[in-house]
Amino acid sequence: MKKIAISSGDPAGIGPEIISKALKFYSKNDEVIYIIYGKVSSESKQIVQITIPEEAIDPGKFYLIKIDKEVEVGKISKESGEVAYEILSRIADDLNSKKIDAVVTTAVCKESIQLSHPDFIGHTEFFAEKSSSENVIMSFWGPYFNLALLTTHVSLSELSKVLSEEYMETKLRLIHSEITKYNHNAKVAVLGINPHAGENGAFGNDDIVLEKVLNKLAEEDIVFYGPFPADTFFAGKFSKYDWVVSAYHDQGLIPFKMISFEQGVNVTLGLPYVRTSVDHGTAFDIAGKNIASEKSLIVAMKQAEFMLTNKKAPVHNYGKFADYYDEYMSNVNYDEWISFILKKLEYFGQNHPKKILELGCGTANISGKLSELNYDVDASDISCEMLKIADKKEFKPNLFQADMLDELPAEKYDSILLLFDGINYLKNTDELEILFKNTFIGLKKNGIFCFDISTKSNCIENFDGFVNLEDNEEDFFIHTSEFLPEINIEETQLTIFEKKGFLFQRYDEIHKEKIFSVDEVLKSLETTNYEVLGIFNINDNENFIESDRKDLEDFNDRLFFFLRKNDF
């Protein structure tokens, strides 16, 4: 089991806030345990306070080693710098003694730390010194290109003195060695140091020396491409390469942050452990206002997990689409759905159930309205992005992240709901049976499970061959769907082009819904003691339980099932 430290950084900055936000709905990796060093802005049941890393044993929880003192939020101070330095020192000690395996850092304020530790330059130099690593590289990993820097925090006036032939050769060898650990066939471009890559000595000899080093390395099959003039490289050439090496900080980081902000990760190469970081600062101007974004921290955490386990985080639907979901579903009359369900629950003997669970709650449009009506509601979804949107709403249920097939606590709920095609995201009848068994266990005696299914006629009439394009100036949204009758799958392709500065970033999601027949649903129910109370159309009071099942699927776009838990 790998252990990853998260540094909360400067306590006067946004670090404690973005950690709390990142952990609230985080898809946990069962091979990794997280330990926060410092503080969080809001503690929860899932954060367990400990004193030493050895006490962290459960990947299902997050742990906190508290290091804190009262400081003024949003201000530079010696006190906040001392706390930030103490956090980093404790992490470095635990990394060196191998009590933890990696660290994810949030931002510190160099000026605050230098009030008590004047030699502090930055995270990269700090961890290099503490681990006795003589040669390290500051790198940035992003969705468009990855970046490695030959120098880190060096002034331009000192640059030529630092970039000696020996120095560049050493750094490039390390970059090649570290990159090939993760991508053996990576194509790496090197930017020139001076304007126009020196133009054969017209602007100094630095690039002549750099080209000499590249040729020497090439003789050893250590291949770099370049040097390229930096002023034109990012106009198009960069897309042909996996990595870019820039001579100094701003030469590479200006284009990187312009197109990869909040999606980029700072990674220190050459350390004896993994170190990743957010790609932003302490943001004192917004600290304490609860508006900071946790996106960069989540990306940094996922990057650390990948570098430790070599496993990419699973990709769930309703990622980027979550940002558009409520607008796209704005035509749905949620009040009508709630009224229909509550009336049916009352008809079947539940006049205001005490405890309700909504599975696959999405952005909590149903469970949020039930909460507004003073119902006690838990709500779960597998998509952390959907839950984060739900969490910002005025009326919200008790939210938690879970798969709809996860086990439920026994006999906790009076009613369980699964709506808006949720059941159609199951792959087969085996998963249907698991769902029915879990919900049966989770319901109290005489509890009711309500779910809906999209029918084959709905797919054929409303979605087969469906195409929709929305142009909102800042983004383009394309929705296409088709029905695959040979496997009873409705496949939806969502493509989103979202403006990022001067560019558009493309996001793709493919949603596959299994269209279950009424027969398949009822047969799967035979594995439980559920009593089928009724099958309904939202626009019709008639109970179709005795109707011809083929007619049900041919003449109804959507069917609602109501089941009661019977204990025999």
Q: Please write down the HEC assignment for all residues of 129-161.
A: HHCCCCCCEEEEECCCCEEEECCCCCCHHHHHH
Q: Which residues contact 157 (CB under 8 A, 6 or more apart)?
A: none
pLDDT tens per residue, range 302-342 = 999 999 988 776 666 788 899 999 998 999 999 999 999 99
**Of residues 442, 378, 371, the one with CA closest to residue 412:** 442
* Contact between residue 17 and residue 41 where contact means Cβ atoms under 8 Å apart: yes
* Contact between residue 14 and residue 107 where contact means Cβ atoms under 8 Å apart: yes
Mean pLDDT, rounded, for 367-395: 95
What is the Cβ-side half-sphere exposure of residue 175, based on CA atoms within 13 angstroms?
Answer: 32
**Of residues 16, 26, 506, the one with CA closest to residue 305:** 26
Mean pLDDT, rounded, for 439-443: 96
Where is 510: in which H helix or E strand? strand 503-514
CA angle 172/176/177 to nearest 5° reads 115
Angle between helices 334-347 and 365-372 (to 10 degrees): 70
Mean pLDDT, rounded, for 402-428: 95
Q: Tell me which of 112-121, 176-185, 259-268 is least confident.
A: 259-268
* Contact between residue 250 and residue 140 where contact means Cβ atoms under 8 Å apart: no
Which pLDDT band, with edges at 50, 70 and 90, does 198 fall under?
low
Q: What is the pLDDT of residue 313?
A: 67
Bridge partners for 130 per DSSP:
none
Would you say residue 120 has pLDDT above 90? yes
User: Coil, strand or helix: which one is 373?
Assistant: coil
Count of C-beta atoms within a 10 Å radius of residue 34: 28
pLDDT tens per residue, range 212-234 = 999 999 999 999 998 999 888 88
Q: What is the pTM of this model?
A: 0.82
What superfamily would CATH give domain 322-456+516-565? Vaccinia Virus protein VP39 (3.40.50.150)
pLDDT tens per residue, range 548-561 = 888 888 889 999 99
Fold match between domain 1-133+271-314 and domain 322-456+516-565: no
Please report, for the chain, the start and end positions of each structural domain, with discontinuous segments joined by +: 1-133+271-314, 146-242+251-259, 322-456+516-565, 458-514
Would you say residue 479 has pLDDT above 90? yes
Q: What is the pLDDT of residue 304?
A: 95
CATH architecture of the domain with residue range 1-133+271-314: 3-Layer(aba) Sandwich (3.40)
Which residue type does 23 have? Answer: L
Mean pLDDT of the chain: 92
More confident residue, 470 or 397: 397
Handedness of CA 151, 154, 157, 161 (dihedral sign): negative
- The residue to which tokens 């969502």 are assigned: 494
Fold observed for domain 458-514: N-terminal domain of TfIIb (2.20.25)
Q: What is the pLDDT of residue 71?
A: 93
User: What is the spatial distance between Cα 558 and Cα 453, in angstroms, rounded to a whole number?
Assistant: 6
First to last CA, the chain: 44
Which residue type does 164 have? Answer: S
Mean pLDDT, rounded, for 362-367: 96
Evaluate the omega torsion of the peptide bond into residue 227 and state whether it is cis, within 30 degrees of 0: yes
Query: Strand pairing of 265-269 and 274-277?
Result: antiparallel
* Contact between residue 556 and residue 457 where contact means Cβ atoms under 8 Å apart: yes
